[in-house]
Amino acid sequence: MKNVNIPFLFAVKTGVDLLPPLQHRHIAIAENRLYEKFVLKIVDRDELAFMDFLSSPQMLLDPRNHTVPFSHVTGIGYGKTVIAMPKLLPLDDISLFSLQTAQCYNLIRQMVEGFTFLHAHGVAHMDLKSANIVIDTSLERLYIIDFGLAHKVKGPEDTLSGFRGTKQWVAPEIEENGYAYSAIRADLWAVGELIRTVLDV
């Protein structure tokens, strides 16, 4: 997959123009003929399997499901697929100082709700951070993105070893080389950090 990167996506679909790329060779912002912006991302088969599972018709009926909506665009070989997602506001780009108390509470409630839903269905995200939380422009609905490090679990007693996540967002036990840790409990630690991010304004 070393030779596949964002410039390849120019040929993915007719009528789509790429805007200046993000700092990630597998992600680009695109615009259609109606000037609607969306995100294109190259995902591997494991990430796609988690997203398909969480976006099944039955799963989508549950209002606690905060998985970002997406659609398949095309397979590109090597077990990779291009998907399209709506362009939403990353939590990192929102001025939390400007939010009202009720809006902050709503974001926190949805974070907890969304990750409770994932864990109830045996999915540990393993890369929880503010960059992987996106919100619609009305600031009413929160979504979870990037299942590239997600892991299937049966419950909080299921353990992993080895580093997964983003350095400043991982639970302390993940930092310890060779230490077996609970994937769900590591997620919960990161949820706590996300809540602190919203409240620490």
Within 8 A by CB and 6+ apart from 84, the residues are 30, 38, 39, 40, 70, 71, 73
The residue among 35 and 17 whose pLDDT is bigger is 35
pTM: 0.87
The residue among 64 and 12 whose pLDDT is bigger is 64
The whole-number pLDDT of residue 81 equals 92
Query: Would strands 80-86 and 37-44 be described as parallel, antiparallel, or unpaired?
Result: antiparallel
- Burial of 180: CB neighbours in 10 Å, binned 0-12, 13-18, 19+: exposed
Sequence ranges of the chain with CATH classification 1.10.510.10: 89-199
Sequence ranges of the chain with CATH classification 3.30.200: 6-86
At 137-170, the pLDDT tens digits run 887 899 999 999 999 999 999 999 999 999 889 9
- Residue 126, pLDDT > 80, answer yes
**Helical spans, DSSP H, in the chain:** 45-54, 57-60, 101-120, 172-175, 183-199
9-13: average pLDDT: 46
The whole-number pLDDT of residue 52 equals 97
The whole-number pLDDT of residue 18 equals 53
- Residue 22, pLDDT > 60, answer no
Query: Would strands 17-18 and 27-31 be described as parallel, antiparallel, or unpaired?
Result: antiparallel
The residue among 15 and 106 whose pLDDT is bigger is 106
The catalytic position among 44, 92, 127, 136 is 127
What superfamily in CATH does domain 89-199 come from? Transferase(Phosphotransferase) domain 1 (1.10.510.10)
Record: fold of 6-86: Phosphorylase Kinase; domain 1 (3.30.200)
- Residue 94, pLDDT > 60, answer yes
Q: Tell me which residue of 132, 42, 38 sits closest to 86, measured CA to CA.
A: 38
Query: Would strands 37-44 and 151-152 be described as parallel, antiparallel, or unpaired?
Result: unpaired
- Residue 60, pLDDT > 60, answer yes
> Catalytic: 127?
yes
Structure-token match 């540990």, residue found: 124
Inter-residue contact 164 to 80 (CB < 8 Å): no
At 176-195, the pLDDT tens digits run 777 899 999 999 999 999 99
Nearest-angstrom CA–CA distance, 22 and 14 = 21
